[in-house]
Every structure is written in structure tokens, then in C-alpha cells.
Amino acid sequence: MYEKFEELLKKNNVTAYRVAKETGVTTATLTSWKQGKYTPKREKLQKIADYFGVGVEYFTGEEPTEESSTQGYYIDEETARTAQEIYNNDKILFDVYKTADRDRLIAYAKKLSELRKLEEGEEWLYYKGYYINVVILDESYGVPGCVRHNSDDSYTIFIDASLNYEKQHEVFLHEIRHILGDDFSESDVQMIEMKNHMHDYYFEISAETFPYMKTMRMINAN
């Protein structure tokens, strides 16, 4: 059973320590599980399953129930509704933990709406038929990043300035998958984010986009 947990860690590029911190399942529990000394109770398995956006049956081997098979990405119902409303109204998809609270999403979306429109053609990346602008925000309300589908059919990726380069790159790739996966043609945010975070699809990102990451400019969001 722990092997399945390790598969999820690798697929989602996260550590057991991070899972413990985000779920409340102690590192001691995960260590004992790895050593074969302990099998987490169903309640703890459910927390881990929720974190990765899978059903608890993934670990237990049971047949998935209708409820678990239709479960989406965000755990909190209010957050899910807020993310859906922002997507419907503003065409924004967030890269946040599934435990994110709705107020954080609302504040971030409001800040984006206050930013002036960037001049057309300024630092645009043309990649695989898409015009993409990448903006580093120095105020992010704890949101690592998001992507917005603009009215002119271009895209703007916003990334938190406080993240290190590796994390910024990770967020960039997450948002690029939204674009290349044509996710904005879909309607259900819960399913969109679950698919992206679980890497149900994968795109080779050309190496020429990586140097571009180093030239992303800073925007003062105040």
C-alpha cells in the first residue's frame, strides 16, 4: 500500500514531509507506514487521498463509489464554488493547494482586476500557436500562480515573486499545461484542476521557454 503513496509523491513532485504538513497526518505515521510497522486507519488514508485528489479506494483496493469517482480537486465546497465563479466570470485558473480558502482566491482575483492592461506585444512569448505573457507579482496573497485567458485569445500567467526559481518554474509548467491542454474549453474547475494536478496528461515543454523564465519582469501590484 505504501508503494502507491510513493507513486503519488513522485507523480506530483511532492515530499512526504509536505503531505504531512498539509494533511495533518504526522511524519511519524508516514515513516512507520513506510517501514511496514503501521497501516494508517481509513480516516488518515482519506486525508491523504483527498490531498492527491484520488479516492481512498486507490489505497484500499476497493471498488470506487460513485461519490469518490466524481470528487473534484478543491476540498472545501465554498472554495470550489468560488473558484468556479471566478473561472466563469474572469477566465482564471489557479495553482493553489486543494486546501486553499475562498477569501484568498477572491483577494487575488480582485488584485488582478486592478492591474493595468499590459501593452500589446510587450514581452510576449509565442509558443505552439499561443501568445503568452508571464508576469511576476510582488503581492500574491499566498497564491503561487494562475493563468488568465484574455479577451483577445492570448494568455497571461501570473507567478508569485517570493517563490524560488525552481518553484516559479514548476508553477509556469502547471499553467502551460492548462493552455496546451485546452482547459479553458472545459467548464468544471474541479475536474480541470484534478486532471492538471494529477498529470493525467503531459506535454513536452520545449527548452527555449526556459531561458524566458529568467527575463520575466516584476509588476508592482499595489
Give Cα separations from 179 to 11, 111, 120, 129, 174 (angstroms).
20, 22, 19, 11, 9
What per-residue confidence (pLDDT) applies to 209?
55
Task: Quickly state the pLDDT bin for 221 (edges 50, 70, 90).
Answer: very low
Name the band, by pLDDT with cuts 50, 70 and 90, for residue 201: very low
Given a cut of 80, whether residue 186 has pLDDT beyond it is yes
At residue 35, does pLDDT exceed 70? yes
What single-letter amino acid sits at 216?
M
Looking at the DSSP assignment, which residues form a beta bridge with residue 158? 135, 146
Across the chain, mean pLDDT equals 78
Higher pLDDT pick, 33 / 64: 33
**Confidence category of residue 119, pLDDT binned at 50, 70, 90:** very low
Q: Tell me how far apart the alpha carbons of residues 198 and 67 are, in angstroms, rounded to a whole number.
A: 18
Q: How confident is the model at residue 120 (pLDDT cuts 50, 70, 90)?
A: very low
* Dihedrals phi, psi of 152, to nearest 5 degrees: -90, 15
| Burial tier of 114 (Cβ tally within 10 Å: 0-12, 13-18, 19+) | exposed
Pick the CATH number of 2-69 from 3.10.580.10, 1.10.600.10, 1.10.1040.10, 1.10.260.40: 1.10.260.40
Q: C-alpha distances in angstroms, 4 versus 54, 131, 170, 204?
A: 11, 38, 23, 25
CB atoms under 10 Å from CB of 71, counted, come to 18
% of the chain with per-residue pLDDT over 90:
18
What pLDDT score was predicted for residue 215?
41
> When comparing pLDDT for 152 and 202, which is higher?
152
**Verdict on whether the full-model pTM lies above 0.75:** no
pLDDT at 202 over 70: no
Of 45, 48, 56, the C-alpha closest to 19 is 48
So what's the pLDDT on residue 139?
A: 73
Please state the φ and ψ torsions of residue 147, each to the nearest 5 degrees: -130, 140
Residues 152-164: pLDDT tens digits?
Answer: 888 988 888 888 8
Lowest mean pLDDT among 72-76, 85-89, 101-105: 72-76
Q: Where in the chain is the domain with CATH 1.10.260.40?
A: 2-69
Query: Grid coordinates representing 119?
Result: 501593452
Q: Which helix (H) or strand (E) element contains residue 59?
A: helix 57-60
Cell numbers found for residue 31: 515513516
Say what the pLDDT of residue 217 is. 44
pLDDT reported for residue 69: 47
The C-alpha atoms of residue 73 and residue 2 are separated, in whole angstroms, by 22
- What is the distance between the alpha carbons of residues 60 and 131, in angstroms, rounded to a whole number? 44
Distance CA 95, CA 155 (A): 15
